[in-house]
Amino acid sequence: MLAASVPGLLAQEPGSRERTLNPYVTGTSVLAFKYKGGVLVASDTLGSYGSTKRYKSVQRVARVNARALVGASGEISDFQHTLKDLEALVTEDACHDDGVQLQPREVFSYLCRSMYQRRSKMDPLWNSLVVAGWEGGAEGGRGFLGTVDLLGVHYEDDTVATGFGNHLARPLFREVDTTQLGEAEAVKLMEDALRVCYYRDKNSINKFQIGKVTAEGVSISEPYSLSTDWNFQSFRNPTQFSLGSW
């Protein structure tokens, strides 16, 4: 009776599992780029229920192992499902007890195949994922950075972003050669980009986490806020040059 009375809810056989048919609780942009000595990945901590800023302490950047981390925008529950799959993969790898860890490129390849397989079944995971890591040792090692979306479309680059970050933050990254920045300069650039995303994306909040991957391992900061300035002329009078608007 419930399935028949609620629009969009499909009738389920007893014991069957219901899939995510549409994204409900979602996260916005994930930003990432390589710098000299590592890779930075950042996002805010908001889980939006439609246009409502419902959950404000959702971690969307997560550690995979000592060499890789993953960030996600899109449906939060689907990202949690992906994290469980990755946890099982890392556990299986640890059971071999041979001292070899999954490389970031292998984690990325697994996620690309997983996302494309779900898309091929017409049952996609509603996420865009960013995988960052470090390959090799401190000497001669290098950062890895790639992204894959719900269709399985994927690529690697020195800078990546999901959601509005593609339009708002990535142009800032392209103005400089991020691979030549020191850590302090890289963090400042990331914070500038996060600030712009907060100004311009209504589904963002001023509470961020930055994940870092270097030869020493993976670290994720505690959530923190950035200083903001709302006295820009375009903020005070946004319709100045929009005749006929409210």
CATH number of the domain at 219, please. 3.60.20.10
What is the pLDDT, as a whole number, of residue 36? 94
Q: Which amino acids are annotated catalytic?
A: 20
Sheet holding 159-161, edge to edge: 159-161, 30-35, 38-44, 208-214, 217-220
SS3 content of the chain, % helix, strand, coil (to 5): 30, 30, 40
**Does 181 or 18 have the greater pLDDT score?**
181
Number of domains in the chain: 1
Read off the pLDDT of each residue in 34-57 and give the average, rounded to a whole number.
Answer: 95
- Strand pairing report for 38-44 and 217-220: unpaired
Note the pTM of the prediction, 2 decimals: 0.86
Structural domain boundaries enclosing 152:
23-226
Distance, in Å, from the CA atom of 19 to the CA atom of 131, rounded to the nearest integer, reads 24
Three-class SS state of 129? strand
pLDDT over 60 at 3, yes or no: no
> What is the rounded CA–CA span in Å between residue 128 and residue 111?
11
Q: What is the pLDDT of residue 7?
A: 39
Angle in degrees, 0-180, between the axes of helices 104-120 and 76-95, rounded to the nearest 10: 130
Q: What pLDDT, on the 0 to 100 scale, is given for residue 160?
A: 97
The DSSP 8-state label assigned to residue 88 in this structure reads: H
Residue type, 142: R
Tell me what percent of the residues of the chain surpass a pLDDT of 90. Answer: 76
Give SS3 for 163: coil
The CA angle 73-47-212, to the nearest 5 degrees, is 50
Residues 142 and 135: beta-carbon distance below 8 Å = yes
Residues 59-86: pLDDT tens digits? 999 999 999 999 999 999 999 999 999 9
Dihedral sign (CA 118, 120, 121, 127): positive
- Find residue 167's DSSP bridge partners: none
CA distances to 64, 119, 133 from 142, rounded to whole Å, are: 18, 31, 9
pLDDT tens-digit profile of 154-201?
999 999 999 999 999 999 999 999 999 999 999 999 999 999 999 999
At residue 246, does pLDDT exceed 80?
A: no
Is 18 within a domain? no
pLDDT of residue 238: 73
Q: How far is CA 19 from the centre of its chain?
A: 22
Element containing residue 81 per DSSP (H, E): helix 76-95
Give the pLDDT of residue 15.
Answer: 58
Q: How distant is the alpha carbon of residue 212 from its chain centre?
A: 13
Say if 8 falls within a structural domain: no
Q: What is the amino acid identity at position 172? A: L
pLDDT at 20: 73
Q: Per the domain annotation, does 34 fall within a domain? A: yes
Task: Measure the CA–CA gap between 24 and 37, rounded to whole angstroms.
Answer: 37
The predicted model gives 127-142 an average pLDDT of 90
- Label residue 244 by pLDDT band (50, 70, 90): low
Assign 140 a pLDDT band (cuts: 50, 70, 90). Answer: confident
Query: Has residue 232 been placed in a domain?
Result: no
- 112: in domain: yes
